[in-house]
Amino acid sequence: MEVSVVTTKGQVVIPARLRRKYGIKIGTKIRFEEKDGEIIMLPLTEEIIDKNIGFLGTQGKLLKKLMTEKKAESKL
């Protein structure tokens, strides 16, 4: 079990082992969900996006839009 401490700014360090396992790098966006009294952190990496292609029935249009926005944000 990995443990981290919340800072006064509400920040938490994700342990290195988990960052490597899930491809979390500097700038990776994290989505937070609540489910059954738990907080779920989901990294928005290309691998996660690829696994969910077809989920919304957009034939990849949503993925292309997301990737375009991600590239634009990384240039800022």
pTM passes above 0.85 = no
The CA distance from 15 to 6, in Å, is 13
Do both 15 and 4 map to the same domain? yes
Same domain membership, residue 57 and residue 35: no
Note down the domain range covering 40: 1-44
DSSP assigned state of 55: S
For 32-74, how does the pLDDT look when each residue is reduced to its tens digit (9 = 90+)? 999 999 999 988 877 666 666 665 666 667 777 788 888 888 7
Tell me, yes or no, whether 50 and 32 share the same domain.
Answer: no
Q: Which amino acid is at 6?
A: V
Please check whether residues 5 and 36 belong to one and the same domain: yes
DSSP per position, 24-52: --TT--EEEEEETTEEEEEE--HHHHHHT
Three-state secondary structure call for residue 62: helix
Intra-chain end-to-end CA distance of the chain, in Å? 36
